[in-house]
Amino acid sequence: MTPDNVSVTQLHIKTGIRHDTLSALTNNRRQRIQLDHLDKIVNTLNIKDMNELFRIEEDGQ
């Protein structure tokens, strides 16, 4: 699930982003995200604070 309890399938339908891409993002299997995808997700979920979408973790170095 994504913020606001929107499923990956629902987000795929609303944004047009491939289901596999969204699934990889939600399961931390991707290290990068395209800015246009980020824009679509943020606008679709009406996110005003990026902390709602992701967090930055240090890799221990």
* Per-residue model confidence as pLDDT tens for the chain (61 residues): 455 688 999 999 999 999 999 999 989 898 898 999 999 999 998 888 877 777 777 776 5
In a domain, 32, yes or no: yes
Range of the domain at 47: 3-52
In a domain, 57, yes or no: no
pTM of the model: 0.74
Which residues in 17-51 are b (16+ Cβ under 10 Å) and which e? beeebbeebeeeeeeeeeeebeebbeebbeeeeee
The CA R_g of the chain, rounded to the nearest whole Å, is 12
In a domain, 31, yes or no: yes
